């Protein structure tokens, strides 16, 4: 893959086609999470950092995304909470398999699992980073300046 738009479309299509994901959201920053209402199960992706390299005569962009899978279940049902957490991890594993199947150069880092309990629901979450590598032109191009 050579561009970010293609990657975005692949992730969006993966989420739209996946029977366990109800919503996909691309956010600009983590602060955008605070004012959002979510469907459940929601897949969230936030661009977080990038690296531009020409190491070993291999020009690439490396872009990392903070990602989260959020779901909810009853606070009074521990088995439902465990099941929801397991399903969140399953979705992340399927995302990794999907990217590898599509020959994407990706790396999924450690997954952090958390639960947030309110009066009537338990929100299960799995946070992880996915790092993608995108090819750049193999030669030095004209600098676009005046």
Range of the domain at 125: 4-135
For the segment 56-80, what is each residue's pLDDT rounded down to a tens digit?
666 778 889 999 999 998 887 889 9
* CATH label of the domain that carries residue 101: 3.30.70.1700
Number of structural domains, the chain? 1
Q: Tell me the DSSP string of 41-96.
A: SEEEEEEEEEEEE-GGG--EEEEEEEEEEEEEE-TT-HHHHHHHHHHHHHHHHHHH
Q: What is the H or E stretch that residue 101 is in?
A: helix 78-101
d(CA 134, CA 106): 10
146 occurs within a structural domain: no
145 occurs within a structural domain: no
Of 133 and 25, the structure prediction assigns the larger pLDDT to 25
Query: What is the three-class DSSP state of 13?
Result: helix
pTM for this one? 0.85
pLDDT (0 to 100) of residue 144: 65
Q: At what angle do helices 4-17 and 78-101 cross, to 10 degrees?
A: 140
d(CA 88, CA 125): 7
DSSP annotation of 22: -
């Amino acid at each position: 893959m050579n561009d970010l738009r293609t990657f975005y479309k692949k992730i969006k299509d993966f989420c739209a086609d996946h029977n366990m994901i109800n919503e996909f959201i691309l956010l600009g920053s983590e602060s955008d999470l605070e004012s959002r209402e979510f469907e459940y199960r929601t897949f969230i992706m936030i661009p977080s950092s990038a690296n531009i390299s020409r190491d070993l005569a291999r020009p690439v962009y490396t872009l990392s995304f903070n990602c989260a899978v959020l779901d909810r279940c009853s606070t009074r049902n521990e088995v439902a909470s465990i099941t929801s957490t397991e399903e969140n991890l399953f979705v992340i594993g399927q995302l990794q398999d999907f990217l590898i199947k599509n020959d994407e150069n990706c790396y999924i880092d450690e997954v952090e699992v958390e639960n947030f309990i309110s009066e009537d629901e338990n929100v299960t979450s799995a946070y992880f980073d996915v790092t993608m590598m995108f090819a750049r032109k193999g030669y030095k191009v004209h600098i676009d300046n005046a």
